[in-house]
């Protein structure tokens, strides 16, 4: 007998292919380098490249609205595609966010300052 009631599932397996394509192109890194991250890293669970990856991969997977990320932020496949070391979110800084590996939609909506060159 097979039990399908346990475990974490995702229908967004294509995100891993997108990650590999992005790794070859370096798009996410170049885009993230255009923004200055003024947050204190000891209190930030998500690096700027991870935030940009979450948004880019979400768009590429067909989730165009920020509110889609309220559910997507629990997706371990998307978290892996965003290079999260903890794709299940068990090591989050804030105890309220443990078990949720990705950023809240409001965090994705905020823009950091572009760097001056």
Q: State the residue for tokens 């804030």.
A: 94
Instruction: Return the domain boundaries, the chain.
Output: 14-112
pTM for the model stands at 0.77
CB 45: neighbour CB atoms within 10 A? Answer: 19
* Per-residue pLDDT tens digits for 32-88: 788 777 878 777 888 888 888 898 889 988 998 888 999 999 999 999 999 999 999
User: Helix or strand or coil: residue 13?
Assistant: coil
From residue 77, give the alpha-carbon distance in Å to each of 33, 91, 116.
Answer: 24, 17, 34
């Amino acid at each position: 007998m097979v039990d399908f009631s346990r475990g974490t599932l995702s229908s967004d397996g294509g995100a891993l292919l997108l990650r590999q394509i992005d790794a070859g192109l370096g798009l996410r890194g170049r885009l993230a380098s255009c923004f200055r991250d003024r947050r204190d890293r000891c209190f930030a669970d998500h690096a700027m490249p991870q935030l940009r990856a979450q948004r880019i991969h979400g768009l590429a997977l067909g989730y165009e609205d920020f509110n889609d990320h309220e559910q997507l932020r629990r997706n371990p496949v998307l978290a892996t595609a965003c290079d999260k070391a903890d794709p299940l979110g068990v090591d989050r800084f804030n105890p309220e966010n443990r078990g949720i590996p990705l950023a809240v939609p409001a965090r994705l909506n905020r823009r950091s300052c572009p760097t001056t060159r």
